[in-house]
Amino acid sequence: MADLTTNTAVEPRGPKLKKAFSRTNIFLYGTLIMVSMYYLLPLYVMIVTSLKGMPEIRLGNVFGPPMDITFEPWVRAWSEACTGINCDGLSRGFGNSVRILIPSVLLSIAIASVNGYALSNWKFKGSEVFFTILIIGAFIPYQTMLYPIVIMLREMGLMGSIWGLVLVHTVFGMPILTLLFRNYFSSIPEELFKAARVDGAGFWQIYFQIMVPMALPIFVVAIILQVTGIWNDFLFGVIYTKPATYPMTVQLNNIVNSVQGVKEYNVNMAATLLTGLVPLVIYFASGKLFVRGIAAGAVKG
């Protein structure tokens, strides 16, 4: 998988097109622009809907731009939208998601990077076996492990708490992150490691003083991967937390799909955009690194 991903930076390899307005060229750009519209349509519709007032929405054209722009739906989605009896908006879910996200990202990357380092430089008997089990485990449907984890969390007294969910994210992030770090550390010349060993450096010394500084790009890839993955999680959030600790995605779903009250489509779309904003910002800010991250994460499926 890794060799696929690194190639994206290479120049296009297809045959060169000569005339600017040849028939193939028009067909090519026509197709690309048409398809782009399909991909951009939902984002566009969400944005325009979230800026309209309800009367304008009832009049009708989802694709039409807003006549008079209002930011009220955004304010309402953030601080007033209701889930059941709670009417404090998405802000609570946002807070929860942040409180889940930060420890999960730190913990999972810390553990996985040490794992990857041990697996590539400090192989011990059976280390490859555990790693293989870990990778195969990434393909097991989560549904198969949901209930045993409920029991484990209950025994630890973490069921329903944010720390329980942090633990779950750490566990399920481990296969892909370990793979990522193991592959990266394996690509660092072994002489470097051996020289450090001769100089008397130990396990942690080599890790902190040589490996971590050299692996900064891969740490960034891992952070991107984990932030988007954990922020977008719905399944674990809905099962391992309780309403007071629901992450943003779960709360969003509850707000939009609640059966009570009049449907405020503009507030719903503002809430949806707010939830999608964090991964979108990361996506557009990180560019190529995001591609590297998902291509590595692709193994997870």
Q: Binding residue for other proteins (CB under 8 A) from 22, 26, 41, 128?
A: 41
For the segment 70-89, give every residue that binds other proteins (CB under 8 A): none
For the segment 169-188, give every residue that binds other proteins (CB under 8 A): 170-171, 174, 178
Using CB under 8 A as the binding rule, whether residue 31 contacts other proteins is answered as yes
Q: Binding residue for other proteins (CB under 8 A) from 82, 106, 111, 223?
A: 111
Considering the complex, state which of residue 162 and residue 278 has its C-beta at the smaller distance from other proteins. 278
Closest distance of CB 80 from other proteins, Å: 18
Binding residues with other proteins: total (CB under 8 A): 105
Closest distance of CB 149 from other proteins, Å: 6
Q: Binding residue for other proteins (CB under 8 A) from 256, 267, 270, 296?
A: 256
Closest distance of CB 85 from other proteins, Å: 20
Closest distance of CB 209 from other proteins, Å: 14
Using CB under 8 A as the binding rule, whether residue 145 contacts other proteins is answered as yes
For the segment 114-143, give every residue that binds other proteins (CB under 8 A): 114-115, 117-119, 122-125, 127, 130-131, 133-134, 136-137, 139-143
Closest distance of CB 125 from other proteins, Å: 8
Using CB under 8 A as the binding rule, whether residue 261 contacts other proteins is answered as no
253 Cβ contact list (under 8 Å, min separation 6)? 234
Considering the complex, state which of residue 162 and residue 181 has its C-beta at the smaller distance from other proteins. 181
Q: At what angle do helices 248-256 and 216-232 cross, to 10 degrees?
A: 30
Using CB under 8 A as the binding rule, whether residue 102 contacts other proteins is answered as no
For the segment 273-292, give every residue that binds other proteins (CB under 8 A): 275-276, 279-280, 282-284, 287, 290-291
Q: Binding residue for other proteins (CB under 8 A) from 211, 233, 246, 267?
A: 233
**Radius of gyration (C-alpha) of the chain in whole angstroms:** 24
